[in-house]
Each structure stands twice: as C-alpha cells, then as structure tokens.
Structure 1
Amino acid sequence: MTNRDGRTGRPPLTERRKAATRLEIAREAVRLFTANGVAATSAEEIAAAAGISARTLWRYFPNKESCVEPMLTAGIDMTRRALGTWSPGGGVAGLLDELERNNRRSVADLPVLLDLVRLTRTEPGLRAVWLRAHADAEPVFAAEVGRGAGLPGEDLSVRVRAVMINSALRVAVEHYAFHTDPAHADEAGVIDAVRAALLTVDRGLAE
C-alpha cells in the first residue's frame, strides 16, 4: 500500500484509526439506510450509532450519503491490488485468481456491501455515490493495467481495458445483489457473477 506521503508499507496508526472509524461509520450508515431509508435517517443518528459526535462525522464526510463511500472504496482498493499483481498475459483466469486471493480480506463486509448496492437501485443519492466511486476508480485501474502491460495509464488501449474491467465488476455485483435473496447471498455467488462478467468481456463483441 502507498501512503499519502509516498512511502510504501503499512500506513501509520493514526491513518489506520481514521480508516477504521470511516468504515464503521459506513457500516452504520448502510444499516440505518436499509432499515429506515435515506430520507428518514439523519447524520446525527449515523454518528450516534457509530459512537462519535455529529461534528466528528462532518469532519469525515460532506453529507450523509457520502458516509457509505468507505464500503465502496474498500472493494475498489481490493481490485487495485489484484490488478497490481496481475499480468495481462495471464488473461481473465489470472485476473480472477488475483481477485479471489485479494477478496479474502473483505469477505466480512460482503453482506453490508450487497445491502448498499441494493439501496442504489431506489436511492438516487446513493446511486450517485456508487457511480462516482467507479468513475474515480477508472484512472486508478488504468495505472495498474498500464504498469503490467508496460504502457502509460493514459494509453487508449489501457484505458479501454480498465473501463471494461471496472464496468464488468460493477454490473456483476449489481446483478448479483439485485437478483439474489439476501438470505442466500454468499461470496461464492459474487465470484461466479464476476467470473461470468469478465469472461463476457474477454469474448468481446463477436458473439
């Protein structure tokens, strides 16, 4: 992991604490939004559920909808790590292997993530956060794909590959969340959906 000051390795304790606090806020926000809806949930309620003051919450997030961002960026960071160790020559099979290996770190939050994705179908504010997170991820993914291919992240072919991977992952998770009974959702199902989406990308437009 690269820290804000450019060093690699584990981030300082204060950064880890901030990240843990942000993630706990996200979990509580999703729980309250799922139970009560976004409109009926206040920032003060989210803060109280996370065990912090409303003033502290506003230091982390500009509005209540953005409180869910850490739940999304965790998955994006997992994908970035997978792309960083993936060689394009390994094809979709190699990328799937890297995604599955890195996904083991975030399995505990999978039910919360799926709850959030379901909410994006009916809550426009959360949909905007979800789409913005993926838009922000594209140059990050392109940089990793380009590094593996020996090309700059701004290269057109690299950007297109990054967009295809990003879109495939987003659509796969949405499809699984929207069409799976929450009581039966599991990691294996998500992985199968991602595999099907990436294999579709690999086959291209010929079919």
Structure 2
Amino acid sequence: MTSGLRERKKAKTRAAIRDAAMRLFTEQGYAATTVEQIAEAAEVSPSTYFRYFPTKEDVVLTDDYDPLIVEAIRNQPASTPVVEAVLQGMRDVFDGFTEEEWISEHRRQALFRVVPELRARQQQQTLDAVDMLAGVIAERLNVPADDAGARALTGALVGVMLAFLYPHNEAGFHADDFDRVRTALISVREHLAPLEP
C-alpha cells in the first residue's frame, strides 16, 4: 500500500469513528455512549478506536483544523499585516468547510456546552492553541518564538475571538464574523492607547 493510499484510508477511518460518535452522542447522550458502541457503529474494533483516539473525550476534542489554520496563516503574503494574516488564514480554512463538516462542528460545540469534563479539557486545548498561534505570529513578526509581544498579541486575538465568535455562533462562521473581530481589535487598540509611553 502506498503512503498516500494509507493516509487516505486512515483519514477515512478516523472520520467514520468521529461521525459514528457524534451521531450516538446526539441520539443517546454523551454519558450513555460507550467506546464499544462507537466502535461497533463505525465498524471497527475497540482497539482500532483507541489507535485513533486515546479516550472517549478525544473523539470530541480532537480536530484537524489547527494545523490547517497555521499553514493558511503562513501562506498569506509576507506584506500582509499579522492580524490580517491570522484572520484571513482562519477565514480561508472555514470557508472551505463542507456542509457535513459544519454539522459535525456544531455538534462538537454543543457537547462542549453541556458536558463538564469536555469543557474542562477544552480550556486546556485553548491554552495549547495560544502556544501554536503565538509560534506562527512570532514567525510572521520575525521575532523569537517566546517573544512577549507576539504572545500578548496572540492573547488579544484569542480573547476577542472567544468573545465574539464561539459562544454565540450557531450557524457557522461567516465573513462578517471575522470583520466583527477586526473591528473589536481596533477598539481594543484604541482603548489601550492611553497606556502607550
């Protein structure tokens, strides 16, 4: 089996497991659904399930978007200001979602709102996302990965995105949502202006 075919088969299995899990969680609830039930619905063995997702929580928590967003940010023209590059990179990824991917994402977000153990793990994932995004922002600013300014900018971006996008958006992200984030960031900059030396 060639490497490309192997990777496509793995991606198909991963998607089948996740789709089966989301369907069962919707039908019978997260707590009532077992890994064995998910594996059976996806037509894989429990051991195969655990090769893709170490725990039941991980089938909800794990997504494939972060690496795509980092790559999309890197692909923005070098002349693009860093905040614009981040917002456009995210927009490029989300604009490419299929209807099925949006349905899956909506189910994920709904589970985060109602399952406490998932919400707790999601908070840790948000911190991991800050590290990832700070790294690519530092690259674009041509500063060290641990640069305080790059990390502060990342924190502002993530904070505004959490405030404006995730809690309220049930229908998926749209271009005007990213415009709202851009406007909010401008407002943040204006309010911080009195702090400038």
Asked if these proteins are the same fold (TM beyond 0.5), I'd say yes
Quickly say closer, same or farther: Cα 1:170–1:24, change in 2 above 3 A.
Answer: farther
Query: For 1:148, which of 140, 153, 156 is the aligned residue?
Result: 140
C-alpha separation in 1, matches of 2:60 and 2:71:
21
> Shift of the alpha carbon at 1:81?
2.1
- The answer to whether structure 1 residue 31 and structure 2 residue 23 are counterparts is yes
Offset of residue 94 of structure 1: 4.5
Shift of 1:47: 1.1
Whole-Å Cα distance in 2 between the matches of residues 27 and 198 of structure 1?
A: 33
Which stretch of the first structure deviates more once superposed, 191-200 or 135-144?
Answer: 191-200
- Matched AA of 1:135: L
Work out whether residues 47 and 54 of structure 1, in 8 Å CA contact, stay in contact via their aligned partners in 2.
yes
Q: Is the 8 A contact 1:28 1:49 kept in 2?
A: yes
Deviations 1:139-193 (A, max 9, x none): 211111111110112101111222232333344442234xx4xxxx2443xx433
Mapped contact 1:66–1:129 kept (Cα < 8 A): no
Query: Match for 2:176 among 177, 185, 192?
Result: 192
Task: Determine the structure 2 residue equivalent to 1:57.
Answer: 49
- Residue 149 of structure 2, aligned match among 144, 157, 174: 157
Distance 1:16 1:198 in 2: 36
Q: 1:48 to 1:122 in 2, by over 3 A?
A: same
- Alpha-carbon distance in 2 for matches of 1:199, 1:25: 39
Aligned residue number for residue 195 of structure 2: none
Identical aligned pairs, as a percentage? Answer: 26
Count of residues in correspondence between the two structures: 187
Distance 1:38 1:98, change over 3 A: same
**What is the deviation of 1:126?**
1.9
Note the C-alpha offset of 1:84: 1.5
Cα pair distance change 1:24/1:202, threshold 3 Å: farther
The CA deviation string for residues 124-147 of structure 1, in whole angstroms up to 9 with x for no partner, is 122133223222222211111111
Distance 1:24 1:166 in 2: 31
Bigger CA radius of gyration:
2
> How far, CA to CA, are the matches of 1:157 and 1:127 in structure 2?
29
Compute the RMSD of aligned alpha carbons. Answer: 2.6
Could you tell me how far 1:93 is from its partner in structure 2? 4.2
- Residues 164 and 75 of structure 1: is their aligned pair in 2 closer, same or farther, counting only changes over 3 Å? farther
Which of residues 49, 56, 76 is equivalent to 2:66? 76
Aligned equivalents of 1:144, 1:51: Cα separation in 2: 38
Matching of residue 66 in structure 1 with residue 50 in structure 2: no
Give 3-state SS (helix, strand or coil) of 1:176's partner: coil
Where do 5+ consecutive residues of structure 1 fail to align? Answer: 1-10
